Structure 1
Amino acid sequence: MPRWSRIILKILGVFIALILVVFIAAAIYVNVNKKSLLATITEKLNQNLNGTLTIGSMDPTFLSGFPGVSLRLNNVVMHDSLWTVHRHPLLEAKDLEVSVNTLALLTGTIEIKKIGINKAQIYLFTDSNGYTNTSIFRKKKKTASPQEEDGDSGLEVGRFALDDVNFVVDNKKGHKLFQFAIDHLKGTADYSWSDWEADIQLKMLVKSLAFNTRRGSFIKDKVLEGPFKITYTDKTGVIDVAPNKLKIGPDPFTIGAKFDTSKEHTDFAINIEVNEIAWKNAANLLAPNISSKLNMFNFEKPIKVNCTIAGNMGPGGDPAINVKAIVKDNVLTTPGGKVDQCNFAGVFTNNFIAGKGHTDQNSAVKLYGFKGQYEQMPFSIDTASIHNLEKPIATGVFKSKFDIASLNKVIGEDVLQFVKGTADVKLAYKADIVDFKLTKPYVTGIVDIKNADVNYVPRKLKFTNTNISLNFTDHDLFIKNIRLQSGKSIVYMDGTIRNFLNSYYTAPEKVLLSWKIRSPQLHLGEFFGFLGSRQTTKKRKSAKTNFSDDLDAVFEKSQVDMHLKVDKVYYNKFLATDAMADLYLTEKGIAIKNVSVKHAGGLLKLNGTISQKGNVNRFDLNTTISNVDIKHFFYSFDNFGLKTLTSKNITGFLFSKTNISGGINNQGKLLPNSLNGSIIFDLKKGALLNFEPIQSVGKFAFPFRDLNNIMFTNLNGKFDVRGQKITINPMQINSSLLNMDIAGVYSMSTGTNIALDVPLRNPKKDEDITDKKEISDRRMKGIVLHLLATDGEDGKIKIKLNRNREKTK
């Protein structure tokens, strides 16, 4: 072996021997001076304490602290001066291990290099008056330079460790409770004058991180594991926790924090960031008042989240919480359904208005650039906001273009069923949120529907090629450019609803829809769905039925003021032109005003009402008929239920006033026996053609007169209608066949009883007489037959002599 090697080995051997001698000497010193050392250590640890620290016993553990000397302190208890009042020891440790400097120890000085706390509880308590048991630690007086120090640097520990330690911060005044079950904590500290820097490795279970015990705990029952780098600056009193990778539960986070201890109540700010975390995992890290709301939602893919929590350890409410989240190409599940292809940047704050407190009422959620697809309907919201999480209010501007058939999945098919068409929507909305669903939204903006086929299910109405433009203002709804087509009917409409949204939700029966309607042709039979009872639909228990139910209620209970102008109106055989009408529709029925139509060469005017009672639609009508071709008139209305007198038997031009009531069924058919009222008529240039009742009598009484074409110079009278019976008030008939006075009852079934006074004199003999008085005097001259028209045994009307007559006046 080379000489220099032997020299180095000898030196090394001497050094090791020296260390062993020193260590053995220290060990002997500890054993010999155990009692005095315990007193010295106790005194050292009690320095700067405003209270007491007691140690039950001490045992040396030489090898664990080599080359220093380690001491195990058993049953260590630390009490502040008011412990007897609040009964919360600051420290209770079964085993506290202290490592001291060996050389310093031999000189009689205790210099602690490491402290290990095992199987212990550290309890930092603050009562409701603000007193804290941490006041046991006396604050050092600040000095300008190290030279001004009093030579006592206090307790400086280079290494420390905690194993199986329950750490509690219980602040009754601030309603805060932090409780950590520390599995292990190991760290080293470097000191520079009054500052220090520590590196820590930690694993612990968070039992409570409640910044407000009335709200509950953050990251409750989650394991926190990872490294910390902490620095303390005495000049500012700030503890800085550098951002570092930590795990909370299964998820890796970057966590950093600052604690300002220079103030009466320590201010803190904690920053937490994670690039990918499941929504449920993130929600369950927050306090129950927040997580309970967030758990109503979910995302299929992980999201990126950044959270800051800032506040102070003093009394007060919740800390300020600000959360930022980035969502890309995700699927959002909500109580109202799923949003596919979801993208947005989201922000949550519980300090929406500065100075209003960190409360649910002052909390808000904002979603920027929100885009997604709901039930195959793509939409976007530039900025969606939810304010006041106690009574949430949502606002935003909703934009969407979609196939309108997609609405069937949203609002259901019980009221409106969309077959085809497109919708273009741009609405600014404000809505309450109840059970995390938009309720009673107030909207402004435009909805354009084009080329839509729509079925109104309760009334079995179908509309094709429908266009609608809805313009929502702050208070009113304007409905423009509507085109409806049902069968052959085409309708163009413009409407207005004043104070729409207020009435829509609270009192749909007060909704008044004013329509201006025009149509080139209208087939009334295609709208008989509005007659009779609505088709009831089975209510589905679904989150999507609220809007459908509201819409259905408005359709049925609202009032409609309609002003119509129709070029052609069809109803069975009836055809009218240039129709104009004012209709007022309510839940109870229809008020008909100012109806005017041209029909059969004349003019019809009408006023009245139609009301629904069960399956019967009652009507009350007042009509005026001017110069109407009676043949076409009878034909159009199926002869008004008459069997004997039909459109084939009558010609002329009718002038009439009626006041009539009756009933029609759901198919628009006149109900038998339902007519009641009066008819005043005047038939000009009239004629009876092949009228069987007169023919049956005339072929015997007037065999040489024309019975097939009986012309009237003027025919007027009044009929009173009561069901199937028509009372013929006394009237005169002057015709080319004969003259006649008639009165009685005509029945559409049985009960006909009509008295007829018929002079046999031929009216043609008086054709050359121009004096009306003379014609009147000669009218009943000669032989007069007194006849009675009654029911025959075969059901037909029979004419016989009226032997017990009272002459008709």
Structure 2
Amino acid sequence: MPKWTSLTLKLIAGLVALVLIVFIALAGYISYNKKEVLALVTASLNKSLNGTLTVGNMDPTLLAGFPDLSLSLKNVTLKDNKWAAHRHTLLQAQDVGVTVNALGLIKGKAVINKVVINNAAVYLYTDSLGYSNTSVFKKSKPQPGAPEADQSGLATVKRINLNKVSFTMDNIRAGKKFQFEVNKLNGALDYDGDNWDGRFDLDTRVNSMAFNTQRGSFLQGKRVAGPFDVRYDAANGVINVKPNNLKIGSDDFIIGATFNTGKEPVAFAINIKADELLWKNASALLAPNITEKLNMFNLQKPLKVQAVIAGDFGSGGDPKIDVSCQVRDNVLTSPGGQVDSCYFDGVFTNNFDKGKANGDENSAIKLFKLKGSYQQMPFTADTTMIINLIKPVAVGTFKSSFPVVSLNNSLGGDPLKFGKGAAKLNLRYNADVVDYQIHKPVLTGTIQVSGADVTYVPRNLKFTNTSFSLYFGKDNLLLRNIQLMSGRSIVRMDGRVDNFLNLYYNSPEKINLIWNIYSPEVRLGEFLGLLNARAGKRYAPRRSSKINYAAQLQEAFTKGAAEIHLKADKIYYRKFLATSGIANLYLRDNSVIIKNINLRHAGGGIKLNGKLVQNGSYNTFALNSTVSNVNISQFFYSFSNFGLESLTSKNLRGNLSSTARVTGRISNTGDLVARSVNGVVSFNIAKGALLNFEPIKKVGKFVFPLRNLDNIAFYNLGGTFDMRGNLVTIRPMQISSSVLNMDVSGVYSLTKGTNIALAVPLRNPKDDYKITDIEERKKKRMRGIVVHLRAVDDEDGGIKIKLGRDKKKDDEKGQDKEKS
């Protein structure tokens, strides 16, 4: 080995040996002068404190911080001057390792390069008056003339390690509480004058992060782990935590923050980002008052989230919370149903109105560019908001275009079932949110349906090629351009409902729909379903938190009323044809009130008023009718001879005028129920004739075998019938014709019980029309021999003619005369 190399190695070895000797000497000095050194360290630290730092014991650890001197402090406590009043110890540690600059100790000054705290508890406490035990670090102003050494600041700490440390910040005045169980915190600090930079590695469990203790804790029970960089700017007192990757639970976040210690109280802003975060995981990080609401919803796939929490540690109330998220091609589930292919940009804030305090009452959820598919109905909503989470109100605009058959998914095919066709919606709504459901929305906008096939299930009414437009104003519903087709019937309608939405939700029985209906051609047989009593599903009362749209719609249909004003060019019903029809109908519950129906039929007119009541398998009616100058043959033909078998349209000729007040029943198939009619019918037939009327021809066989009774003409015939089920009572009636005269009275039965009295003079009245004196004509019509006959039932169900009076009726007349 060269001599210079050997000399160098010896020199280095000598220096190391010297350092070791000095280091061991210092350790020995400290051990020998333990009390004096401990007093020096604590005195140095206590100079910067408004309180007391005590250390139970101190031992040097020779090699732990070489070449600095490491000290192990046992049972360290730090208390402020008012500890006796509040009893909250700022620091209590079983073991604190302090690495001290050895040269500084020799010079009588503690320079602390590293602090390691193990098994400790840190408790920062602020009472209801605003006093904090952290005032222990706030040195009072030095007295004038005090020695410079007494004005020294807190000792510089370059490295800090925490292990198994409980950290609590309890602010009674502000209602805030933070509590962390720090498993590990390793940090290194670099100083630039009064500024410093730090790099920390954290592993902690959050027991409480309550910005408002009444609302509960954020991140409760979550593990937070990862590195973060910190910068302190002494000029403005701002601590800046640079954004870095941290794990909260099993999710990755980028978290940054600022803390402004230059303000009183200390202000903070925490920024949180996550590129992929499940909804349930995000909800679990928030305070219970928010989590409870968010858990009513879920998104199947992760979403992108960014949040800012800002406030201060001194004032009460909630911090300002702003959250934004991006949802792309996701599946949203909620109490109202599931939305597929869901897209939106979302924002949450608890400071919607900048002039009000942060909190649930001032919170808002905003959804921008929302689109998705609800029960196969695609929709868009430019902006949707839910304002005030205590009494939520939802506002927004809803747009959608879809095949109407998709409505069957939400309505269940009852009361309306849709086939082909298209729907288009453009609605703005304002609604309360009750149990996380849109409740009683106030709507403005339009609903348009075109080319649809619709079945009204409770009445089994089917319509094709249906089109309509609904216009929602603030209070009213307008129905425009409605066209329905059922078979060969075409119906065009317009309508309105005043105060619609209020009544729909609160008093459906008060809904009154005003319809104006026009039809160029309507066939009533295609609407016989209106005669059926409502049939359909029965729904439970609306007590569930989930809205049953079908039940609401069914209830409105069932309880609501309609006022119908109808015009029709042609009206068909079986054999019946009318023109220029005008009608006013009022529908309520299971009844139809008929007012002022006017029709042109068989060359004359018909007017009707009355009521139809639906009752199970049949319908009862009460009608007042006026028939003016109609062709009697066509009239009887149109109404299937009114159930009469012996007198038909083929037996009649002339013009009929009639009034009737009748009640009866009609089946759900539109047929008159046999023997159900009761009432009074009065009629007059002008320029009439009986053609081949078998009962008269039977009379002729007895009385006028040589006269032609196939065509009996009469100029004016009137009478009144009392109808009671199967019995028709003919009030005394005079028939004057070209062939014979006849007085008729009695009972005609549709089954058994016919007993009609006929008084027939034998003289031939064919020339009576030549007598111009009406009174003379009346006297002459019954002159001469009068034959009395009776029409009664025969054995075959027909009618037979017998000679003689009805003895029972004659006796009754005789008794009446005696009494008089």
TM-score by structure 1 length? 0.95
Shift of 1:723: 2.1
Q: Which runs of 4+ in 1 moved over 6 A?
A: 147-150, 540-544
Look up the SS of the partner of 2:419 in the other structure: strand
Q: Determine the C-alpha separation between the residues in 2 that align with 1:575 and 1:29.
A: 128
Write the letter of the residue equivalent to 2:440: K
Write the letter of the residue equivalent to 2:636: F
Instruction: Answer whether contact 1:720 1:728 (CA < 8 A) is retained.
Output: yes
Superposition CA RMSD, Å = 2.3
Shift of 1:375: 2.4
How do residues 597-636 of structure 1 correspond to structure 2 at under 5 angstroms?
597-636=599-638
Look up the SS of the partner of 2:421 in the other structure: strand
**Higher mean C-alpha deviation, range 794-803 or range 709-718:** 794-803
Residues 1:378 and 1:767: Cα distance change in structure 2 (over 3 Å): closer
- Aligned match of 1:531: 531
Instruction: Answer whether contact 1:411 1:545 (CA < 8 A) is retained.
Output: no
Residues 1:3 and 1:376: Cα distance change in structure 2 (over 3 Å): farther
2:755 matches 1:766: no
Please, which runs of 5 or more residues in structure 1 have no aligned partner?
Answer: none
Figure out how many residues of one structure are paired with residues of the other and give that number: 806
Instruction: Answer whether contact 1:336 1:543 (CA < 8 A) is retained.
Output: no
Q: Determine the C-alpha separation between the residues in 2 that align with 1:510 and 1:142.
A: 83
Instruction: Answer whether contact 1:788 1:802 (CA < 8 A) is retained.
Output: yes
- Aligned match of 2:781: 779
Shift of 1:6: 3.8
Write the letter of the residue equivalent to 1:664: I
- Aligned match of 1:479: 479
Residues 1:545 and 1:310: Cα distance change in structure 2 (over 3 Å): closer
Q: Determine the C-alpha separation between the residues in 2 that align with 1:670 and 1:8.
A: 133
Q: Determine the C-alpha separation between the residues in 2 that align with 1:667 and 1:54.
A: 103
Write the letter of the residue equivalent to 1:574: F
**Higher mean C-alpha deviation, range 149-158 or range 92-101:** 149-158
2:188 matches 1:188: yes
Residues 1:94 and 1:705: Cα distance change in structure 2 (over 3 Å): same
Shift of 1:759: 1.0
- Aligned match of 1:349: 349
Look up the SS of the partner of 1:764 in the other structure: coil
Please, which runs of 5 or more residues in structure 2 have no aligned partner?
Answer: none
Q: Determine the C-alpha separation between the residues in 2 that align with 1:11 and 1:458.
A: 111
Shift of 1:42: 2.5
Q: Determine the C-alpha separation between the residues in 2 that align with 1:127 and 1:149.
A: 33
- Aligned match of 2:805: 802
Look up the SS of the partner of 2:646 in the other structure: coil
Look up the SS of the partner of 1:622 in the other structure: strand
Shift of 1:151: 5.4
Aligned-residue sequence identity (percent) comes to 53
- Aligned match of 2:374: 374
Superimposed CA distance per residue, residues 492-520 of structure 1 (whole angstroms, 9 cap, x where no aligned partner): 11112222212221112222221111112
Shift of 1:452: 0.3
- Aligned match of 1:655: 657
Instruction: Answer whether contact 2:677 2:723 (CA < 8 A) is retained.
Output: yes
Superimposed CA distance per residue, residues 693-740 of structure 1 (whole angstroms, 9 cap, x where no aligned partner): 222232132111112222222110111222222222211001233111
2:177 matches 1:172: no
Q: Determine the C-alpha separation between the residues in 1 that align with 2:556 and 2:43.
A: 85
- Aligned match of 1:280: 280
Shift of 1:457: 0.9
Look up the SS of the partner of 1:361 in the other structure: helix
**Higher mean C-alpha deviation, range 607-616 or range 634-643:** 607-616
Look up the SS of the partner of 1:474 in the other structure: coil
Instruction: Answer whether contact 1:412 1:544 (CA < 8 A) is retained.
Output: no
TM-score by structure 2 length? 0.94
Instruction: Answer whether contact 2:50 2:140 (CA < 8 A) is retained.
Output: no
Shift of 1:630: 1.1
Look up the SS of the partner of 1:64 in the other structure: coil
2:437 matches 1:434: no
2:123 matches 1:120: no
Write the letter of the residue equivalent to 1:628: V
Look up the SS of the partner of 1:802 in the other structure: coil
Shift of 1:794: 4.1
Q: Determine the C-alpha separation between the residues in 1 that align with 2:713 and 2:749.
A: 25
Instruction: Answer whether contact 2:633 2:654 (CA < 8 A) is retained.
Output: yes
How do residues 370-519 of structure 1 correspond to structure 2 at under 5 angstroms?
370-519=370-519
- Aligned match of 2:318: 318
How do residues 245-256 of structure 1 correspond to structure 2 at under 5 angstroms?
245-256=245-256
Superimposed CA distance per residue, residues 244-302 of structure 1 (whole angstroms, 9 cap, x where no aligned partner): 22111222211111112233321111111122212221121111111221222222222
Instruction: Answer whether contact 1:725 1:748 (CA < 8 A) is retained.
Output: yes
Q: Determine the C-alpha separation between the residues in 2 that align with 1:222 and 1:619.
A: 75
- Aligned match of 1:675: 677
- Aligned match of 1:218: 218
Instruction: Answer whether contact 1:59 1:73 (CA < 8 A) is retained.
Output: yes
Write the letter of the residue equivalent to 1:311: G
Q: Determine the C-alpha separation between the residues in 2 that align with 1:447 and 1:2.
A: 104
Superimposed CA distance per residue, residues 124-147 of structure 1 (whole angstroms, 9 cap, x where no aligned partner): 11222222221222246599xxx9
Instruction: Answer whether contact 1:466 1:484 (CA < 8 A) is retained.
Output: yes
Q: Determine the C-alpha separation between the residues in 2 that align with 1:798 and 1:371.
A: 82
- Aligned match of 1:566: 568
Shift of 1:784: 0.7
Instruction: Answer whether contact 2:336 2:547 (CA < 8 A) is retained.
Output: no
Shift of 1:767: 5.0
Q: Determine the C-alpha separation between the residues in 2 that align with 1:588 and 1:636.
A: 27
Write the letter of the residue equivalent to 2:211: F
Shift of 1:803: 5.5
- Aligned match of 2:84: 84
Write the letter of the residue equivalent to 1:776: K
Q: Determine the C-alpha separation between the residues in 2 that align with 1:649 and 1:658.
A: 22
**Higher mean C-alpha deviation, range 190-199 or range 372-381:** 190-199
Q: Determine the C-alpha separation between the residues in 2 that align with 1:797 and 1:69.
A: 139
Match of 2:704 among 702, 709, 730: 702
Look up the SS of the partner of 2:674 in the other structure: coil
**Higher mean C-alpha deviation, range 425-434 or range 789-798:** 789-798
Q: Determine the C-alpha separation between the residues in 2 that align with 1:403 and 1:4.
A: 99
Q: Determine the C-alpha separation between the residues in 1 that align with 2:314 and 2:600.
A: 87
Residues 1:345 and 1:2: Cα distance change in structure 2 (over 3 Å): farther
Instruction: Answer whether contact 1:69 1:99 (CA < 8 A) is retained.
Output: yes
Look up the SS of the partner of 2:105 in the other structure: helix
Q: Determine the C-alpha separation between the residues in 2 that align with 1:715 and 1:271.
A: 101
Instruction: Answer whether contact 1:786 1:803 (CA < 8 A) is retained.
Output: no
